[in-house]
Amino acid sequence: MRTNKQINKAMKLRIIILALLSIFQLAAFAQDRKVSGVVTQQSDNKPLPGVVVKVKGSKKGVSTDTDGKYVITLGSSEDTLVFSFIGYQTKEQVVVSDIQNIQLASADNQLNEVVVVAYGTANKATYTGSASVVNAKELENRQVSSVSRSLQGLVPGLQSVASAGQPGSDATIRLRGIGSVNASSAPLYVVDGVPFSGNINSISNNDIQSVSVLKDASASALYGSRGANGVIIITTKQGQLNSKPTVTLNASTGVSTRAFKDYDYLDNKQYFELYWEAIRNNQLDQGKNAAQAAQYASAELAGALKVNPFGSAYPQPVGLDGKLVPGAVSLWNDDWTESLSRNGIRTQAEIGISGGSEDSKYFVSGGYLDDKGFIVGSGFKRYNARVNYNTKVNKWFEAGVNVAANTTSQDSPPQSDSNQGNFANFGRLVSNIYPVYERNPDGTYKLDSNGEKVYDFGNYRPSAAATGNNLLGDADLNKYSSKQDAVIFRGNVQFNILKGLKLKSSINTDYVNRLNHSYTNPGFGSGLSGKGSVSKSSSRSIGVTVNNLLDYTFDLGAQHHFNVLAGQELYTLNSSGLSGSRSNFGFQGKDEPAAASLLNSFTGSSDEYKLSSFLGKLDYNFGQKYYFSASFRRDGSSRFSPGSRWGNFWSLGASWNATSENFLKDIDWLNNLTIRTSYGAQGNDNLGGYYAYQDLYSIYNSLGEAGLVTSRLPTPGLKWESNLNFNSGIDFALFNNRLTGTFEVYQRRSKDLLFSRPLSPSLGFIEIDDNIGSLRNNGFEGQINIVPVITDDFRWAFGLNFGHFKNKITELPQKEIISGSVGQLGSTKKLVVGGSVYDFFIREWAGVDASNGKPLWYKNTYTTDGAGVKTITGKTTTSVFAEADQYFQGSALPDVYGGVSSNFKYKNAELSFLFSYSIGGKILDLDEVMISHNGDNPGRTWSKDLLSRWTPDNPNTDVPRLNTQATNWNSISTRFLYDATYARLKNLTLSYSLPDQWVSAIGFKNFRISASGENLLTLFGRDGLDPEQAVDGVTFYRYPAQKTISLGLNASF
Amino acid sequence: MKLQKLLYTLLFAASIAFTGCSDDFFDTAPAGDLTGKETFASTTNIDALMNGTLRYLMESSTSQDNPGYSAILLSQEVMGDDAIARDGVYGYRDSYPYRDPYDNTTRRALFFWSFQYKVIDNCNNIIANVDQASGPEADKKYLKGQALALRAFVYLNLVRQYQYTYAKDKTAKAVPIYTEPTSPSSQPKPRATVEEVYSQIIADLTQAETLLPGFKRSVKNRLDINVVKGLFARAYLTTEKWDLAAAKAKEARTGYNIMDPAQYLQGFNDVSNVEWIWGHPQKADQTLGGASFFAYIDVTPATGYRSIMPDPYFRKLFQDQDIRKSLFELVTTTTDPMYRWYKYKKFVDKTDKSGNIVLMRSSEMALIEAEGKARLNDLPGAVAALNEVRIKRNLTALTAGAYNQTDLIEEILVERRRELWGEGFRLPDILRLQRKVVRNETTDTFKSGAADVVIKGHYIRVFPDNSAFIPNSPYYLFSIPVNEINTNPNL
């Protein structure tokens, strides 16, 4: 074992020498001259603030002030200035006089961008890796409360599914296909250079300068064991050196409603007639004749449904003919779905101040967001504040700190699962035959002593219609709140040891404190039997990242340029929580545990996760034409056993900037052409738990004594899942950068998949964690941006991006693995070699038996030879669901997905839109399953489709005969599998900037008003179903997407 | 000064870099688990494994309608003829018409199979490891005895749930037998025959019987020597070893008197009941609350599922003076969700919802003894055992001469129905006796004003394929779940 001391001594000596050398270096400047000027925009000659002005061949740089002015000092040997600004073409200018005014042309070209990449920045045009960038401009109009939701349609190869409309909820993101089966396929989020351990919804869109999406090995291998599913780097705004303070104000307010129409339901008359038929049919099955059965149905109907909306004048509202008796009229026509919806108000206001002196820069912001969802009781509130400050203390020491503090409060009533408390699904549970408010037998409202209507909690309703529950009735009384306080701290120091050699050290913490409070009132609804209940939980998590990186940039001769990065990083995540619940409240209106008399549970736990890493990177370029990069990272993780704890990750990449070649330099119409390729390995250790190798026995105390029960089989050899990524791409810019694009092909191979291998339940365990199998994603993706029209007054830009991949399982430990289990409804997928992770494997609907109305599914027919070997000979049908065979029925994964955007600018007005689209793939509509029972769920909402049920007069249909006993027709089958192709207008914004003379008259720099809409239009083949569902293509009664229309203003002074 | 700071920073950086290499740095342990090594270090910890396993048996659940072992008890009731899963309410409405667990794709089919086998694996772990643990030898003996008895209990359930009875065909394939703890390399086993499973049960009970004398349990959910004898009695009754059944039943109830009539009305909710040989106490902080055994079978609260109702024909099995008949109550209030049903108020939950669950009573043992003796034509012996139950239910004692053997056996079988309703015996008895379920539509009415209102009873009187009930129907059996079929090539 080496001792730390020895190493420290050796290092100490080396550092002293380096430091001394650097001091000599600094003394070498002499004979300066000052150059100044104004930088303006080529199109309209307006001054451009914030342009970075650098002296070529040196590190010196300033930025232009609010009037576009700059002053810079050149050394005697220096004669060229480089002007760069995001969104504009970089310009080099040989200094000919002391006043040097410059015009910059708008880039319309993402290739010239500086992109934030792993542990540094890179020039997009020469970067060897695959990175896509989303800039502040593309985020500013979005009326969504988590940045994860604004990436959809903007980044090629990024599949984002906002599977819940709940304000503040995050979208599921998949980059370049599915990299894992059981371990997480989610990308790593990095905030201001460091892996982020908080909630992404705590960061305001307006604080974000750019989002870089790293997709290949060259880009993300430096994140080693966490980079396998891609990396999303969020960089927050910074001030600019030498700029006066600028204040930016953003405010918007809008209204949110349901984004698309719900399913159609039966009305009360139809419901009663159909349920009569279900009862009648069941009686026939029990052996009664038609007359007896009809009589029974008429007599028992109201009793079976436990309600009679036709009033006491019609005790048997449906006659022996199965029709509503003449004269009967439903005394109420309530609508549960409607009554649980509202117009949600969304309000956002933010202020930012940024500026900088010669050696320090700052960005300070504060914001407020109140996003109320369209479902009663749902909402998200956020208060956020940020200070980003960087300073250059002297020539050799720089320091910076980013501190963001925010507090969020989310009210999210239950909104997924088949649970009765699910607000999004309640209207699909409780049919509209039941009144929302209590009614008198004559249909009038029952009023309480204050003359108010009284919510009808329906203790009389059958179980299938949420007995004793009225979510509207107790929405105001109950509580589903989660509050979160977070502090994101990024602190770094940089020592400029020698010219080109820097030591960067940083310490970073993500601190999150969560408090969940849910309360069910004792007086009404589901809390009634336990006299109310409350559960409260608190958790604290702190992720700490410490790293030290040496960065050395140097040239050998004129053509060989090097950058070497080497360093070390430690990451620890500590999370600790406690929770408790009590019930039995003695009082209404008190919702804290202190007021409840019975302790139900109290528990607490903590977890620790540690990662230690060493990393290095080499970038080399020859004459700014040929670029090579190599990176390496070694990670040790506490998740695995000492024997398999360490893993190595690496990448190699190369790019060729063809336009730098002499033979292409003179082609006018070709502005840029870069070809690049990379290969490398990243890892994935995220299989959920933190203790993935031991045999574990869960502590399961019982009756006040210690208890244990088996929970996990040992897997000492368990290790990383690794991803081998190949990427090759071409970037081009043509016709004065008016046509730019990128096209890439890739292959991602995941091996040693972290897998929960299913075991036979008779072994006492249903699964064991294992490294088995491999996956492959082959795909391509691209992006094209065109500016078809550009005149002095009008500019039209158009962008299109697309991604395609094929996911294929290349190796499995066993012939097949059934997966994709959905709650109580069974499995939906099967994994086989050659198939994909999300191939539906379900029963195949064969329609309704025209002779008896029974549902039919397919099953195999066999012949058995002499040796007892069975051979499938064909298919036949069966009306017994369990006998039906399962078949592959296509994949949930789309063929092509991406976005289309366009921007029209006429003088001061601007119109932009963004469509996201997804073509191909299947979706299994389990929401429809809920409302498609054959009569076995009395009182549950019924789809209008039931009107076409089988009857002897209507034998050819796909809705079977009604019956009060289950027939399984609404079990999982292709009956409910649909094409998932859709397109959605994610955003449409119309804005107008007030003319400069007006604006400056009131002392402003800029004043813009805008109207914007989110999810205004959904193009999809199914009514009622939200096409944006989970990546696996299975719906589960989620909060549907919401549409938000808002007005905003944006001003700066 | 600045240089010094720089050096300190570098030193700090370097020292961090090297702390990240040692194995100590990575030492983490879960807060809620013990490793196998820790678990099997001492008899105290193994006792905790026994305790946790019993809780798992009784309280693990996959959904509201599967509250641990009591889900099996309730299914076995509604799949018979004396109990009905009330229409329109959640719970057992798919078991009552023989849709689950017959359908091997249902969650109930999966639950019944997998949770029982998990209990077996826990027992196997105790049996395999207890001898090497530190702790008193006596404790090792008792722990092993309990694990063997519990394993026998589960296999006895399985063999009667997944195959027809022993007397029908003892060579039929029943369920796989595992006697070793599962390890990562374990292979799933083939189905053993009914006879092999019974041999395992008898072997386990025989060994447990030698280990458990002297074991004084502090909680009645532990399996002691009386429970072992009771399990013997159940096993011998099914395998029709009448003499052994009667003898073991008698031994099992030694020390457990049959409760007095008044106590029968106290709600069957407390293990302190004199005649409970085995039962599971509950505590308010760990019951399954609104989805527990009592939530389904206790029909007395104002809200809740209250799913399990008696058949009106079942009521006719009681004589008027029978204390048990006083538990019936007809609901005539139109606004009551149970309107027109009889309630049978045998089970009443405790106010804090911690009603205890009965697993073995001396009345059952007396009836096994009576049946065993009757089958052996020891009619006086049989009547004596039967009368022990009868007189405690306010019935007159029978005289041996009043019945021939066949009639007496029938009387004892009817007594089992009267006495053990709601405790999960009905379906196993139908299978054991190779009889068919009998369900008839009620014609009984009550007066509501001038009108005659029909009382509610059986509403499903045919199998799902509309065929008539028959003996030994596959609809009476639990299905091996599709998950097992897919993953066990040896089955």
Min Cα–Cα distance to chain A from B20, Å: 5
Spell out which residues of chain A touch residue B353, defining contact as CB-CB under 8 Å.
530
Q: What per-residue confidence (pLDDT) applies to A859? A: 94
Give the residues of chain B that fall short of pLDDT 70: 1-21
Name the residue facing A493 among B9, B26, B28 (closest C-beta): B9
Q: What per-residue confidence (pLDDT) applies to A164? A: 66
Q: Which residue of A has its CA nearest to B105?
A: A882
Cβ–Cβ below 8 Å for B20 and A612: yes
Decide if A712 touches B, using CB distance below 8 A: yes
Cβ–Cβ below 8 Å for A712 and B33: yes
Q: Is the dihedral of CA A582, A584, A587, A588 positive or negative?
A: positive
Spell out which residues of chain A touch residue B28, defining contact as CB-CB under 8 Å.
607-610, 638, 690-691
Decide if A642 touches B, using CB distance below 8 A: yes
Spell out which residues of chain A touch residue B122, defining contact as CB-CB under 8 Å.
709-710, 764
DSSP for A917-961, written as a single string: EEES-EEE-HHHHHT--SSSSTTB--BGGGGGB-BTTB-S-SB--
Spell out which residues of chain B touch residue A570, defining contact as CB-CB under 8 Å.
16-17, 19-20
Query: Which residues, numbered 254 to 293 in chain A, qualify as contacts with chain B under a Cβ-Cβ cut-off of 8 Å?
Result: 282, 285-287
Query: Which residues, numbered 720 to 759 in chain A, qualify as contacts with chain B under a Cβ-Cβ cut-off of 8 Å?
Result: 758-759
Query: Which residues, numbered 371 to 410 in chain A, qualify as contacts with chain B under a Cβ-Cβ cut-off of 8 Å?
Result: 397
> Given this chain, do its domains B1-63+100-235+425-435+471-491 and B241-423 carry the same CATH topology?
yes
Spell out which residues of chain B touch residue A460, defining contact as CB-CB under 8 Å.
335, 337
The position carrying tokens 């604080």 is: A207
Let me know the angle formed at the C-alpha of A738 by A111 and A669, rounded to the nearest 5 degrees.
Answer: 90
Q: What per-residue confidence (pLDDT) applies to B11? A: 58
Cβ–Cβ below 8 Å for A397 and B2: yes
Number of residues assigned to chain A: 1053
Cβ–Cβ below 8 Å for A528 and B301: no
Min Cα–Cα distance to chain A from B238, Å: 24
Min Cα–Cα distance to chain A from B56, Å: 7
Burial class of residue A991 (count of CB atoms within 10 Å of its CB; 0-12, 13-18, 19+): buried
Cβ–Cβ below 8 Å for B49 and A709: yes
3-state secondary structure of B156: helix
Cβ–Cβ below 8 Å for A760 and B6: no
Question: Cα(A403)–Cα(B84) distance, rounded to whole angstroms?
Answer: 65
Q: Which residue of B has its CA nearest to A642?
A: B23
Query: Which residues, numbered 764 to 793 in chain A, qualify as contacts with chain B under a Cβ-Cβ cut-off of 8 Å?
Result: 764-766, 768
Spell out which residues of chain A touch residue B305, defining contact as CB-CB under 8 Å.
463
Name the residue facing B52 among A468, A708, A818 (closest C-beta): A708
- For residues B21 and A636, is the Cβ–Cβ distance under 8 A? yes
Give the residues of chain A that fall short of pLDDT 50: 1-4, 7, 17-30, 108-111
Picking from A289, A312, A520, A702 by the largest number of B CB atoms within 10 A of its own CB, the best residue to mutate is: A702
Min Cα–Cα distance to chain B from A344, Å: 34
Question: Cα(A948)–Cα(A664) distance, rounded to whole angstroms?
Answer: 68
Spell out which residues of chain B touch residue A938, defining contact as CB-CB under 8 Å.
87-88
User: Cα A1009 vs. chain centroid, distance in angstroms?
Assistant: 29
- For residues A779 and A178, is the Cβ–Cβ distance under 8 A? no
Cβ–Cβ below 8 Å for B39 and A697: yes
Q: Which residue of A has its CA nearest to B46?
A: A708
Min Cα–Cα distance to chain B from A761, Å: 5
Q: What per-residue confidence (pLDDT) applies to B5? A: 55
Q: Is the pTM of this model over 0.90?
A: no
Where helices occur in A844-886 by DSSP H, the ranges are: none
DSSP for A764-801, written as a single string: T-SEEEEE--EEEEEEEEEEEEEEEEE-SSEEEEEEEE
Where in chain B are the domains?
1-63+100-235+425-435+471-491, 241-423
Where helices occur in B20-106 by DSSP H, the ranges are: 36-39, 43-59, 69-78
Picking from B28, B43, B47, B351 by the largest number of A CB atoms within 10 A of its own CB, the best residue to mutate is: B28
Spell out which residues of chain B touch residue A495, defining contact as CB-CB under 8 Å.
6, 9
Question: Cα(A713)–Cα(A718) distance, rounded to whole angstroms?
Answer: 12
Question: Cα(A47)–Cα(B119) distance, rounded to whole angstroms?
Answer: 77
The CATH class for the domain spanning B1-63+100-235+425-435+471-491 reads: mainly alpha
Picking from B487, B490, B491 by the largest number of A CB atoms within 10 A of its own CB, the best residue to mutate is: B487
Decide if A698 touches B, using CB distance below 8 A: yes
The position carrying tokens 């906002």 is: A162
Name the residue facing B6 among A306, A495, A965 (closest C-beta): A495
Min Cα–Cα distance to chain B from A232, Å: 26
Cβ–Cβ below 8 Å for A463 and B305: yes
Query: Which residues, numbered 477 to 496 in chain A, qualify as contacts with chain B under a Cβ-Cβ cut-off of 8 Å?
Result: 493, 495
User: Roughly what angle, to the nearest 10 degrees, separates helices B43-59 and B107-129?
Assistant: 170
Tokens standing for A436?
């929302």
Q: Tell me: ipTM over 0.95.
A: no
Decide if A824 touches B, using CB distance below 8 A: yes
Decide if A605 touches B, using CB distance below 8 A: yes
Phi-psi region of B214 (alpha: psi -120 to 50; beta: other; left: phi over 0): left
Min Cα–Cα distance to chain A from B463, Å: 10
Q: Which residue of A has its CA nearest to B20?
A: A612
Min Cα–Cα distance to chain A from B169, Å: 23
Cβ–Cβ below 8 Å for B32 and A605: yes
The CATH class for the domain spanning B241-423 reads: mainly alpha
Spell out which residues of chain B touch residue A638, defining contact as CB-CB under 8 Å.
25-28
Cβ–Cβ below 8 Å for A697 and B459: no
Spell out which residues of chain B touch residue A698, defining contact as CB-CB under 8 Å.
32-33, 52
Neighbours of B201 (CB within 10 A): 25
Q: What are phi and psi of A601, to 5 degrees?
A: -160, 150
Spell out which residues of chain A touch residue B26, defining contact as CB-CB under 8 Å.
610, 612, 636-638, 642, 645
Q: Which residue of A has its CA nearest to B94?
A: A966
Q: Is there a cis peptide before residue A309, judged by omega within 30 degrees of 0?
A: no
Name the residue facing B32 among A4, A698, A939 (closest C-beta): A698
Question: Cα(A302)–Cα(A316) distance, rounded to whole angstroms?
Answer: 7
Min Cα–Cα distance to chain A from B216, Å: 16
